[in-house]
Structure 1
Amino acid sequence: MTRPAAAGSNSATGAHHLHRAVGFWGLMFISLGSIIGSGWLLGALTTAVIAGPASLVSWVLASTMLAVLALAHAELGATYPIAGGTARFPFFAFGPLVGFTAGWMSWLRSVLISPIEVEATLSYMDRIGWVHDRVRVLHPNGTLTGAGLVIASVFMLIFTIINVLGVRLLSGINSVTAVVKTAVPLLTVVVLMTLAFHGSNFTAGGGFAPHGAHGVFAALPAGVVFALLGFEQAIQLAGEARDPQRDISRAVIVAMAVGTALYLLLQIAFIGALDPDALTRSWDNPVGEGNFGPYATLATAVGAGWLATILYVDAVISPAGTGLVYMAGAARLSYAMGRERVLPRPLTQVGRSRVPVVSILLAFVVGEIAFLPFPSWQALVGVVTSAAAVMYAFAPVALHALRVQDGGRNRPYRLPAGPVLAPAGFVFANLIFYWSGYEADWKLGIAALLGFLVLALTRRGIPAAERSGLRARSALWVWPWLGGMILIGRFGRYGGTRALPDWWDLVIVIVFSLAVHYTAVRLAMPPEDVDAAVQHEEEGESVPPAPGTAR
């Protein structure tokens, strides 16, 4: 087979390809920069209020569950290095209908991250005296004012301009901001543990676990899972990686390990630095009413005003860097779905900088619209976490199906104990979805239905002779799965009627998840169809061949 023109070529074909310009460090910092965002600035306070010192257990539980999902993504990203991979892996295994569902959820989640990171920045800015007195970017309940909405729009416009200028600029800026975003939290940990660490806080306010296991689980969607999201961003940009087979898996694993260690240290430092007098009765208000910048408040309280100043500066850098990367990821997802003809074809248009310009502009517009129904950081976290859980759930089931139907393909990285960890990963994703709460879950179900309306309208605009089959049989498991999870949430303990007994609700989620997983694997497309889909996409993306193989 003739190898297609390289992505950087000047051929007619190459002119439509993304530019492969990002190496290992760029990919790793893209994932790490996505993980370290507003979650570290605001997540510790939110989770401590819900779970008390047992929020440490929440971080360990979430990191363990997400590590399995990250490793599944690492194998898929190295094996199928295609732009917008989270949308395309299920497409390879189950066809366009499942691929669209996964891609739509991935896109919804990614396109909402940029506005949520901007809102986090404004939450910290509002704690600066002269900003609060003269501009007033937030209402007392944490929602955006008119001035705040204007400033938020300026941030979104800056993200858009940087993304349009090219992936090399994006990677360079993100690498610098990722270093800063890692250094400042580490400095915060050292200073708080040195100047003010009260070991008694870990048993204060009702004990280590004042709200029991329920508090530990409820803290997961309130900020813990959200904070650890982002490892897959290197995979979204795999179409622009210089050596994706070698670098994708390493970038994801390293970023996840660094991010997890950092968040655990931050939670320990946060709890230890609190004023013990504020915890004598409960954890309801550990740092002051209406305080949306807890670390800066703690730094000031322990006499490190200079650190508070650094934190206010980092409150712009950390969320902004994450929002910048997620806009890029959202654009690659809509670009990927445009290539699959499940979203309008103009979304695949690539500009002079070899980036998907129309998709970037769409991410800007939708992000702006999101400020209206979700005008605060807290309002968006639950919905984003629920969407992320669905997005992540597609990876382990697609991995299992592709190992069965496409097992002969070279896999530079393999998930250890794949037959066990793949279904476990699907279970973990569904548990996170359940813990996100019924309120977020049913809204996500409505968003999924809206996506299928978009799909139907897109297909109506394609001549009948050019429409590919949707592979409806391979998608038979998707709606029973999503509908079943929403139904379990309706009767569960997290925003539902609580009709399901304690612990039995978790058993039901686990058993249901395993049944869906193995059913889905049996419904996957046959090997020849999987191979044809992968080959078509690889040729279109000019994927470099694996070492020692012919193309």
Structure 2
Amino acid sequence: MMIIIALAYAEISSAFPESGGIIRYPHYTHGSTLGFIMAWSYIISAISTVAIEAVATTTYISHFFPSLYSGNQLTTEGIMLTYVLLVIFFLINYYGVKFLGRVSHGIGWWKIIIPTTTAVLLLAYFNPANVVFGKTACYQGLNGMLYAIPASGIVFSYLGFRQAIEYGGEGKNPQKDIPFAVISSLLISMSIFVALQLGFLGVVKTNGNWAGLLNSPLANAPLISVIDMLPVVFSFWVGILLFDAIISPAGTGIIYLGTTARSIYASAKNDYFPKLLTKINERGIPLFALIVSLISSALFLLPIPSWYQIVGISSSATVLTYIMGGIGVESMRRIAPEVKRTYVLSYINVLAPLATIFAGLLVYWSGFSTLFYIVTLVILGLSLYRRGLQGIISGIIALLNSYALYVETSALTSPSLYFIPFIIIDTAIISYLILTSAEGKFSAWAIPLLSGTLILSYISPFGLYDLMPFPYDIIVASVFFFIIHKIAVRSSLPALKIESPINS
């Protein structure tokens, strides 16, 4: 699924190698309003990624200091340490950009060598009996497996290809290098993670380990726990994994804090945010954008200090922007066929809609509670974009409406008739904010995309009122996203809206 989505972006980026490309491409094809929606969603994902990596670092430090983590979330001490880590990420971005540039190549190799070596160690002791299918149904059936794709971080593991696009305007030969980087990064990630998963399955001792999985060390530190099951000669690797588990997410958090600031800076250049955020200090750093990134990342820890909850929101917000991959590549073929492309997507009439459907399904599978937060955040973003008294009122109404549903559904755990007025009010607010904005008519298809996905999720096996059983829900959702794709392509601008590129 991710390869099909990435192939769509490979063609787009070969034609328009832009820094901040994922933010800028929707602006090119559908104007400023849709550009803001996708930019806002992308920034949410980038901000939450910083929080995710800080939480992950603290979680692994808790292996040595158990008071930092309790149950499924951080303790007060753990949250405080995570805030300290965020400040450290900020300071390194402020003072150490050149240093990070020198070591980033080494960090990349470290992130390949350590998991690859771990996979080799596990596969060396692979027990084929562990992967023989029996008659026992998987947990919550196949729909439970699909829910796990975004919710457990599987999608999150394959999102790294966006960095090749994000920094696309700065390569020596971007029109050739970006498509190669996009595809190769996915294939490398896939190979490593599949090998790790197979190795894990093959080493776990099934006599008792599977039965108590959630209450065992395997739930919190799976790779470290299974390495402990290997002969004692490999016990030294546990220490290396612990070191890697702390250093790797911290390094990613540092990089993503800078990426978030860059995205906010690019959005401000597009007039989505105040011009103050475009100011560069004497070090060449967008300082105000970096400060906003730090504060926003810290705010993510207040309501949801759990890695699993944050990663669900981050993954879904990112994949929501990837819906523009299939839509964007076909729209650009339609309105700018003359632009030279070093990579051309074959069978575009099939693969472009598939890319949209796959991205839509990944968002849909994230579950109603995650989508509830995503749509609420998008509405709040549109309220900021609208500005003025109307934007403030719209944002307040949306917050009150979301809070009412949260209460009526017992914290999004049980169905409620209030969902009907909730979705009507939400749809009305989204419609008002989009249709009364500049170039809103080219973004009108985003109204059914947001509201429709939320409705489908609510009445699905992933929601609060299971009205559509599996697999019929996937058929309905696929048809829905196919229709959205066709409407979106037909709704594109008559010509690409390209101003001067942002490559700094």
Give deviations 1:204-223, integer Å, cap 9, x for gaps: 78558465422321221122
Structure 1 position 81 matched with structure 2 position 10: no
Q: Name the counterpart of 1:228.
A: 158
Contact 1:84–1:335 (CA under 8 A) maintained in structure 2: no
Match of 1:444 among 366, 374, 378: 374
Q: Name the counterpart of 2:492.
A: 524
Q: Name the counterpart of 1:255.
A: 185
Q: Name the counterpart of 1:270.
A: 200
Structure 2 SS opposite 1:247: helix
Contact 2:170–2:503 (CA under 8 A) maintained in structure 1: no
Match of 2:264 among 334, 347, 361: 334
Map 1:307-346; keep pairs closer than 5 Å: 307-346=237-276
Structure 1 position 373 matched with structure 2 position 341: no
For structure 1, the residue ranges without an aligned partner over 5 or more in a row are 1-64, 462-467, 543-551
AA of the residue aligned to 1:96: S
Give TM-score scaled by structure 1 length. Answer: 0.78
Quickly say closer, same or farther: Cα 1:75–1:158, change in 2 above 3 A: farther
Match of 2:144 among 210, 215, 219: 215
Higher mean C-alpha deviation, range 199-208 or range 94-103: 199-208
Give deviations 1:460-485, integer Å, cap 9, x for gaps: 99xxxxxx972111011011111111
Structure 1 position 297 matched with structure 2 position 225: yes
Give deviations 1:245-291, integer Å, cap 9, x for gaps: 23222222211110010000000011111112125xx5551771684
Structure 1 SS opposite 2:216: coil
Higher mean C-alpha deviation, range 282-291 or range 101-110: 282-291
Q: Name the counterpart of 1:395.
A: 325
Quickly say closer, same or farther: Cα 1:73–1:354, change in 2 above 3 A: farther
Question: Residues of 2 paired with 1:106 and 1:256: CA distance?
Answer: 19
Structure 1 SS opposite 2:228: helix
Map 1:126-165; keep pairs closer than 5 Å: 126-128=62-64, 131-132=65-66, 136-139=67-70, 141-165=71-95
Quickly say closer, same or farther: Cα 1:169–1:421, change in 2 above 3 A: farther
Q: Name the counterpart of 1:61.
A: none
Quickly say closer, same or farther: Cα 1:193–1:541, change in 2 above 3 A: closer
Question: Residues of 1 paired with 2:236 and 2:451: CA distance?
Answer: 51
Match of 1:199 among 96, 109, 128: 128
How far does residue 368 in structure 1 lie from its aligned partner after superposition? 1.1
Quickly say closer, same or farther: Cα 1:477–1:234, change in 2 above 3 A: same
Contact 2:203–2:229 (CA under 8 A) maintained in structure 1: no
Q: Name the counterpart of 2:470.
A: 502
Q: Name the counterpart of 2:39.
A: 103
Give TM-score scaled by structure 2 length. Answer: 0.85
Question: Residues of 2 paired with 1:458 and 1:403: CA distance?
Answer: 37
Quickly say closer, same or farther: Cα 1:508–1:211, change in 2 above 3 A: same
AA of the residue aligned to 1:197: F
Quickly say closer, same or farther: Cα 1:290–1:190, change in 2 above 3 A: closer
Question: Residues of 2 paired with 1:167 and 1:421: CA distance?
Answer: 39
AA of the residue aligned to 1:363: S
AA of the residue aligned to 2:334: V
Question: Residues of 2 paired with 1:67 and 1:347: CA distance?
Answer: 34
Q: Name the counterpart of 1:484.
A: 452
Quickly say closer, same or farther: Cα 1:206–1:288, change in 2 above 3 A: farther
How far does residue 105 in structure 1 lie from its aligned partner after superposition? 0.5
Contact 2:122–2:227 (CA under 8 A) maintained in structure 1: yes
Give deviations 1:505-528, integer Å, cap 9, x for gaps: 11111111111111111111112x
Structure 1 position 475 matched with structure 2 position 443: yes
Contact 1:123–1:293 (CA under 8 A) maintained in structure 2: no
How far does residue 438 in structure 1 lie from its aligned partner after superposition? 0.7
How far does residue 81 in structure 1 lie from its aligned partner after superposition? 2.3
Q: Name the counterpart of 1:66.
A: 2
Give deviations 1:223-251, integer Å, cap 9, x for gaps: 21122122101212224434322322222
Quickly say closer, same or farther: Cα 1:480–1:166, change in 2 above 3 A: farther
Quickly say closer, same or farther: Cα 1:74–1:367, change in 2 above 3 A: same
Question: Residues of 2 paired with 1:231 and 1:458: CA distance?
Answer: 37
Contact 2:20–2:266 (CA under 8 A) maintained in structure 1: yes
Give deviations 1:443-502, integer Å, cap 9, x for gaps: 2111111001110228999xxxxxx97211101101111111111011111123110132
Give deviations 1:121-154, integer Å, cap 9, x for gaps: 22222223xx33xxx2212x13222332232223
AA of the residue aligned to 1:138: Y
For structure 2, the residue ranges without an aligned partner over 5 or more in a row are 392-435
Contact 1:83–1:332 (CA under 8 A) maintained in structure 2: no
How far does residue 398 in structure 1 lie from its aligned partner after superposition? 1.5
Quickly say closer, same or farther: Cα 1:172–1:248, change in 2 above 3 A: farther
Quickly say closer, same or farther: Cα 1:160–1:243, change in 2 above 3 A: farther
AA of the residue aligned to 1:445: V
Quickly say closer, same or farther: Cα 1:81–1:347, change in 2 above 3 A: farther
Q: Name the counterpart of 2:500.
A: 537
Q: Name the counterpart of 2:281.
A: 351
Question: Residues of 2 paired with 1:458 and 1:231: CA distance?
Answer: 37
Q: Work out the number of aligned pairs and report it.
A: 457
Contact 1:439–1:495 (CA under 8 A) maintained in structure 2: yes
Question: Residues of 1 paired with 2:455 and 2:225: CA distance?
Answer: 42
Question: Residues of 2 paired with 1:246 and 1:161: CA distance?
Answer: 35
Question: Residues of 2 paired with 1:399 and 1:459: CA distance?
Answer: 37
Question: Residues of 1 paired with 2:217 and 2:246: CA distance?
Answer: 23
Give deviations 1:292-344, integer Å, cap 9, x for gaps: 11211221232222010000000112212222222222222211210111111
How far does residue 401 in structure 1 lie from its aligned partner after superposition? 0.7
AA of the residue aligned to 1:119: V
Quickly say closer, same or farther: Cα 1:137–1:205, change in 2 above 3 A: farther
Quickly say closer, same or farther: Cα 1:212–1:326, change in 2 above 3 A: same
Quickly say closer, same or farther: Cα 1:459–1:158, change in 2 above 3 A: farther
Question: Residues of 2 paired with 1:310 and 1:276: CA distance?
Answer: 26
Structure 2 SS opposite 1:494: coil
Give deviations 1:519-539, integer Å, cap 9, x for gaps: 111111112xx1xx32x232x
Give deviations 1:398-423, integer Å, cap 9, x for gaps: 22111110111121222232222111
Q: Name the counterpart of 2:479.
A: 511
Q: Name the counterpart of 2:430.
A: none
Match of 2:353 among 399, 402, 423: 423
Quickly say closer, same or farther: Cα 1:207–1:338, change in 2 above 3 A: same
Question: Residues of 2 paired with 1:405 and 1:457: CA distance?
Answer: 31
Give deviations 1:370-398, integer Å, cap 9, x for gaps: 11112121121221222122111122212
